[in-house]
Amino acid sequence: MTVHNKQPARPIRRPRCRPGGDRGSVTVEIALAVPLMLLLLFLLTTAVHLGRAAIDVNAAAAAAARAASLSRSAPAATSAARTAATANLAGQCAAVSVTVDTSAFHRGGAVTVTVACTVTTHGLTGISIPGSVTTQASSTSPIDVYRSISLGFANSQALSGARATTRGGDPT
């Protein structure tokens, strides 16, 4: 058995509106919304530029590692990696740091390059805000197993020396 208590319906009271009571509310909303939209626009622009900088640093590290792996000696690999990284990031970074690990520079080994790029916040946002952001990336490139290592003489001398010794002659 269910007992229902019905209460008499009360009339709904509506707030009294004065004519012209909402005047100026749109102006206040716009005055608050425009600065927030501009702030959001600057944050979005900064995020896009920071993402682009990270992609550029990754690409520079990969190009530097590839250039280093194609070199014939460890000092030449270091030089080639630095040249490739700075060429790829020319004009984009306030400071570029390139670290080359040639400890495994031999046939079948690998070369690892780490590139760090410091970007000013002015370059990210377009407005003069002090500060900077550093993005860093590493890339490793294998050294071909079937390549020859530089022996310190020109290729034509290597071939002529190899022919002389294979014929049984003196290489001098």
Determine the average pLDDT of the residues in 9-16. Answer: 68
**Pairing assessment for the beta strands 132-142 and 95-104 based on DSSP bridges:** unpaired
pLDDT in tens, 86-137: 999 998 888 999 999 999 998 889 999 999 999 887 767 777 778 888 999 9
Distance CA 171, CA 165 (A): 6
Q: How many domains does the chain have?
A: 1
User: For residue 158, which amino acid is it?
Assistant: A
Asked whether residue 28 is assigned to any structural domain, the reply reads no
Distance CA 165, CA 21 (A): 105
pLDDT, averaged across the chain: 81
Q: Look at residue 120 in the predicted model and tell me its pLDDT.
A: 85
Asked whether residue 30 is assigned to any structural domain, the reply reads no
Tokens coding 131: 């500060």
Q: Look at residue 156 in the predicted model and tell me its pLDDT.
A: 53
Q: Look at residue 127 in the predicted model and tell me its pLDDT.
A: 74
Alpha helices in 4-90 (DSSP H): 25-69, 74-88
- Domain ranges, residue 128: 42-163
Work out the burial of residue 5: count CB atoms within 10 Å of its CB; fewer than 13 is exposed, 13-18 middle, 19 or more buried: exposed
